[in-house]
Chain A
Amino acid sequence: MKPRHSPLAFLRRVEGLPVIGVLVLLYGAFLITAPAVFTRPLIYMSFLQTVAPPLVLGLGLTLVITAGEIDLSFPAVVALSGFAFAWAFKNLNTPLAPWIGIVLALAAGALAGYINGLLVAKIHVPSIMATLATQFFWYGITILIANGLQVNIKEIEDTAVHTILTGRIFGVIPAQAVWGLALAILLWFILNRHTFGEAIMFIGDNPNVARVMGINVETTRIKLFTLMGVLAAFAGVLLTTEINVFYPTQGQGYMLPVMAAVFIGGTLISGGQGSIVGTFFGTYVIGSLQAGVVATGITSYWVQSVMGLIMAVAVSINVLIGEGRISTVSARIRHWAVPAHPQTGGEPPANNDASS
């Protein structure tokens, strides 16, 4: 049997090429329609600054979706960790307060992620339900312990943490953009060159195969959700540091744009294959739209329509090059909602076996 050759198959050779194309076209369109804004560096600096938190979230979510799972709780973890960070900075009377804040925030994220992992891997709650529940839970807890109030941390600007996380390198480049890039590179190597990443891909492809091949599916899932929690917490710290304030509903706007970015980037909703490069550029596409469309002078009501249009085009390209058959999509959504393998001692049920 010959490999299926689609006329657009060449797009597959370079990871993330379709979405890079979309990004180039988008910026081209912006340059033509709003040259005054897009020929100056300021707007790009602004993108680098605002895209960092959703980028970090998208990178984590790429791994989760590649493993065939979903995480809906990350916006709540952004809020929870943002509060942990702001609270520690405000209330601990030591020069180390911002550092303790970071540790506390990341620990909170790890805990939230670990709980997701336990629910999914040990109790076999479908991830869409488990993380929907924890999303509500952590927002509730955050609002409760924050008394529903925002926390101003203007003084963070005078700390080394602020400089390291969100300062301006050489006075221009936002540090958080470098953090995002560094994490993207690290996670690309984790996914594509590390045994953990390979385990993620095989689990997303077919957990039974993964198990038979000696991959510890449970442990990998728990580690994965914990990692997602830590990344979401880091995104929360970046956001809170950048805007100098924690507010109890922070992160809420990230849910759908981050998912859109991941799918635009070519990560398969059916699991088994994910593209860190695609998510990287996909996040910049989504993150540039708002400011870009406004700059062109048309009403900002257009933003959502344009976002939808771009998503439709990018995802269509991914399907056309044979990377995301539509039939697998409904199957995956079903898996998110229904446990695919009721456990009988870590093995699929006996009546599935083609023998005796």
Chain B
Amino acid sequence: MADAPVEQYAAQLVNIEKYFGLVCALKKVTLEIGRNEIVGLIGDNGAGKSTLVKILTGVFPPTSGELYVAGRQVDFRRYNVKQARAYGVETVYQDRSLGEKQVLWRNFFVGRQITRRFGFIDVKKEKQIASEIMLNTIGFRGKGITVDSRVSVLSGGERQGVSIGRAMHFKAELIILDEPTTALSLKEVRKVLDFVHRIKEGGKACIYISHDIQDVYEISDRFIIMDRAKIVASIAKEEISLKGLGEFLLEYAHGFKDKAES
């Protein structure tokens, strides 16, 4: 009976709490991510964004609460990074998603290799599929980059593209981008945003974490604002302008500051 409403979400968190010793990192967080929704997750350092993402991706379990991924309830005793990927949750980290000295085709399939007998890799097939992902899923064209190129020759934006393309190929339901544009030039940021648009076009969901309000505003359908271990607001894009969002956040920062000072 509860199945039908649950399945409209890529992920659903119910009353998730996380304590590190006595420190509360997440307090009764309840959140739904739609099947084809791009959610911008905003909040100051230490607000709990990273903890939230780590619970979603199986890095560590919450202290209490429930998590559903694509309608299936997650058993935290058996939930780890590998399991999360099997459920369809993929994370794109800025600096630890790709092996720099390795060729692209290996990066697409590492951990999920196409193998023949005895664990030997089917190189031909991996290269062929990797090449298709590059052309069709993420639209790498005529840049002198092939599946045999090493990651070290790619620009920062292109690297994010490879990670996103990989996640989409492996049928990720929810792709989490954790500060994907930090330290990238404007041109490269543009590329990353275009890749995120492809996630939307591909019918998948995405959580986009960034401090850059402008970027978040452009690509997100909805904004989740976190502060001090709690979700303090969830605002749909139609309800607010970029300027309004900026002012809201600023007010929040000031309000928090005032409270802290008093």
Contacts and interface: CB of A to CB of B under 8 A. Distances in A.
Contacts of B82: 214
B119 interface: yes
A191 to B, nearest CB: 11
A221 to B, nearest CB: 16
Interface residues of A, number: 33
A208 B144 contact: no
29 contacts: A1-B154, A1-B155, A3-B144, A3-B149, A3-B153, A195-B119, A198-B110, A202-B102, A202-B106, A205-B100, A206-B100, A209-B98, A209-B99, A211-B81, A212-B96, A213-B111, A214-B82, A214-B85, A215-B110, A272-B100, A272-B101, A347-B59, A348-B96, A354-B93, A354-B178, A355-B53, A356-B45, A356-B48, A356-B49
Given A208-B96, A212-B97, A354 B182 contact: yes
Contact of A356 (B43, B115, B149, B155): B43
Contacts of B99: 201-202, 205-206, 209-210, 213, 272
Interface in A169-196: 189, 193-196
B183 to A, nearest CB: 9
Interface string A190-234: 000111101001100110111111110000000000000000000
Nearest to A213: B111
B121 A194 contact: yes
A40 interface: no
Interface of B: 43, 45-51, 53, 59-60, 81-82, 85, 91, 93-102, 106, 110-113, 115, 118-121, 123, 144-145, 149, 153-155, 158, 178-179, 182, 209
A144 B43 CA distance: 64
Contact of A213 (B110, B155, B209): B110
Interface of A: 1-4, 189, 193-196, 198, 201-202, 205-206, 208-215, 268, 272-273, 345, 347-348, 350, 353-356
A47 B51 CA distance: 60
Contact of A201 (B48, B51, B106): B106
A268 B85 CA distance: 31
Contacts of B111: 213-215
Residue of A196, A205, A353, A356 with most partner-chain B CB within 10 A: A356
Given A193-B120, A195-B120, 17 more contacts: A1-B154, A1-B158, A189-B120, A193-B121, A198-B113, A201-B99, A205-B102, A209-B97, A213-B99, A213-B111, A214-B81, A214-B82, A353-B50, A354-B94, A355-B178, A356-B45, A356-B46
A206 B149 contact: no
Given A194-B119, A209-B96, A273 B49 contact: no
A350 B95 CA distance: 14
A347 B91 CA distance: 14
B121 A273 contact: no
B106 A198 contact: yes
- 3 nearest A-B pairs in the assembled complex, by CB-CB distance: A214-B111, A356-B50, A272-B101
B1 to A, nearest CB: 35
Nearest to B158: A1
B16 to A, nearest CB: 15
B121 A355 contact: no
Nearest to A201: B102
Contact of B102 (A4, A211, A272, A347): A272
A189 B110 CA distance: 16
A350 to B, nearest CB: 7
B179 A205 contact: no
B152 to A, nearest CB: 8
Contacts of B144: 2-3
Contacts of A347: 59-60
Given A202-B110, A215-B110, A347-B59, A355 B81 contact: no
Contacts of B209: 355
A250 to B, nearest CB: 34
B77 to A, nearest CB: 15
Contacts of B81: 211-212, 214
A198 B96 contact: no
B185 to A, nearest CB: 11
Contacts of A194: 118-121
A348 B95 CA distance: 12
Contact of A2 (B98, B113, B153): B153
